[in-house]
Amino acid sequence: MGDKAAEKRDVWQGTLALMVLKTLQAMGPLHGYGIARRIEQTSGDLLAVNYGTLYPALLKLEQEGYISSEWGFSDNNRKAKYYKLTRAGRKQLNKEEREWEQTTAILARFLAPGEERS
């Protein structure tokens, strides 16, 4: 079998923000490393979170008002920036979840075998 690390996929374009918002909804405030690890764990370790894409995504979400941040201390007593979901972020998450459910339902029609329409 191949190297497990080599089999990991990068997070799909456009889904990272949704994964970050959903993670913060489920877990409460987390620092960047905690968010990345949780996304990887939730994916069953099939996704790899690249910090070069995570931190710009966090910055963008904060600028849009969907998350807020404050400095705190991590478990090993290191200074870390903690991110949390805002009210606007919860509304945005609900909207994006509905859109993704519709998108995946449409894609499922194309991918379903023997479902060709004449």
pLDDT digits (tens, 9 = 90+) for 43-102: 999 999 988 999 999 999 999 999 999 999 988 899 999 999 999 999 999 999 999 999
For position 7, what pLDDT does the model report?
Answer: 66
Report the DSSP pairing between strands 79-85 and 47-48: unpaired
pLDDT digits (tens, 9 = 90+) for 2-22: 445 556 767 766 789 999 999
Structural domains in the chain, CATH included, are 4-111 (1.10.10.10)
For position 116, what pLDDT does the model report?
Answer: 58
pLDDT value at 104 more than 50: yes
Q: Which residues lie closer than 8 Å to 22 by C-beta, 6 or more apart? A: 93, 97
